[in-house]
Amino acid sequence: MKKTRLGGISAVIVGVLYLLTVVIVLTSPPGENPVIDHITYMNKLIAVHYVLGILGVLGIMVVLAISNKIEPYTLSSEWYPYTKVMAIIGFALLALNNLRQIGLDHELSHKAMAKGGVVFDTIILAWAGLVELSPQGWLDFGFVGLWIFTVSLITFTHTKQKFLSVIGWIGGSCFILTVIGNVTGISLLVMIGMGLGGLVVVPLWFVLYGTILIKKNTTLETTESSIISSN
């Protein structure tokens, strides 16, 4: 059995950080434009970037740990390796994007306020392209959500973790729904995706999966052992 304790601890932390991010964002309601927001809530938004940067790094570890855990069920799957790489890309981009924004957001917003006029208007119009690497969430939400959904489909079919799998289906779908909402401009979809997914379901999925990875004797391990013994 491959060791996944470190990945399990990382998964629990990732779940807590997802929840913390949404809580901080909810206490920082959007204003007129991103420049004003980053002046008004500078400390909170910088904290979000730190949290998401750490989350992205730990998320890569979680993908590898969970992939090791379900390896017996994915050896013959052509699709799973693709989603695994997608999730790694998504978490890596999340880390890169947010660690990059820590200094950039502060500098741009304060310079825009100091210059005013045309500079202020230009930075507001170009904000997403200047500071965000995935403004609609295709990679950091869409790729990760697709991977969570795929993992849950596999575990539902091959293990006894039915409740965890259903939680994963809902969480992965919420992340994908968030992307659809961003693309279409339907804020209700984003609210549902982030409110239900980011605040409740996705954090719960990571924490529950983390406890499974940490424990030595779990349902997943028992199921794997029975498969090996039967062969």
Residue range 166-186, pLDDT digits in tens? 999 999 999 999 999 999 999
The Cα 93–Cα 56 span in angstroms is 7
In the chain, % of residues over pLDDT 90: 61
Q: Which residues of the chain have pLDDT under 70?
A: 1-2, 126, 128-130, 216-231
> What is the model's pLDDT at position 2?
67
What's the pLDDT score for residue 69? 93
Give the separation between CA 76 and CA 138, rounded to whole angstroms: 27
pLDDT exceeding 70 applies to what percent of the chain? 90
pLDDT tens figures, 84-115:
999 999 999 999 999 988 878 777 777 777 77
- Give the pLDDT confidence score for residue 111 in this predicted structure: 75
4 phi and psi angles, rounded to 5 deg: -135, 15
Report DSSP state, residue 218: -
